[in-house]
Amino acid sequence: MPERPRGPVSYIAGTAPAAEKTVLTAELRLDVQEFYARYAECLDGGRLQQWPEFFLDSCIYRVTTRRNLRLGPGEDIVSLSTRTAMFDRIVAIGQSEDYEPHVQRHTISNFRIQAASGQELRAQANFQVLRTFPEQRTESFVSGTYSDRISIAAGRLHFREKICVLDADVPPTSLEYPI
């Protein structure tokens, strides 16, 4: 089996070009699983400057609750539509006086590819984020589902749309980090 590339968002499956990978194969599922693992690794490692690299230049990143999802995008907790807006958010996090250093851990599970074409995948996954502040116990910070549209272009995966739907109708008091 060929070795997988080590870049944060690489998508090269065997010898077949990505555009030909329209059948839901075990190899495609493994590539998507690796993509999600690298996403979590980036956020958990505090490499926020690399977070926007997982997205297309023109994209949608939303964080909402299940109740607010029914009400529409105007009720989102976070709504960003470009990589530039994502970089601006990262700068704001770095300048926030309320920021407290902590460690976070994303667990992404039960992902499922719902549809696939030569240019895009639709995927859904569960997530949970744990946080640990210095000299405190680990806490369950937030959980929910990802509803994603993943672009396949030039042999790479990028999020075209990432909608993070929180399980709780009441969002956490501090949601400065991407989830």
Going residue by residue through the chain (179 aa), what tens digit of pLDDT does each one get?
334 443 333 333 333 334 344 556 787 888 899 999 999 999 999 898 999 999 999 999 999 999 888 887 778 889 999 999 999 988 887 766 566 778 899 999 999 999 888 889 999 999 999 999 999 999 999 999 999 999 988 778 999 999 999 999 887 776 667 88
* Residue entry with tokens 């939303």: 62
pLDDT of residue 97: 53
pLDDT of residue 161: 97
pLDDT of residue 11: 35
Q: Are 21 and 152 in contact (CB under 8 A)?
A: yes
Domain ranges of the chain: 18-166
pLDDT of residue 176: 65
**CATH fold label, 18-166:** Nuclear Transport Factor 2; Chain: A, (3.10.450)
Q: From CA 150, how far away is CA 122, in angstroms rounded?
A: 6
Q: pTM of this prediction? A: 0.82
Q: From CA 34, how far away is CA 49, in angstroms rounded?
A: 20
Q: How far is CA 169 from the centre of its chain?
A: 20
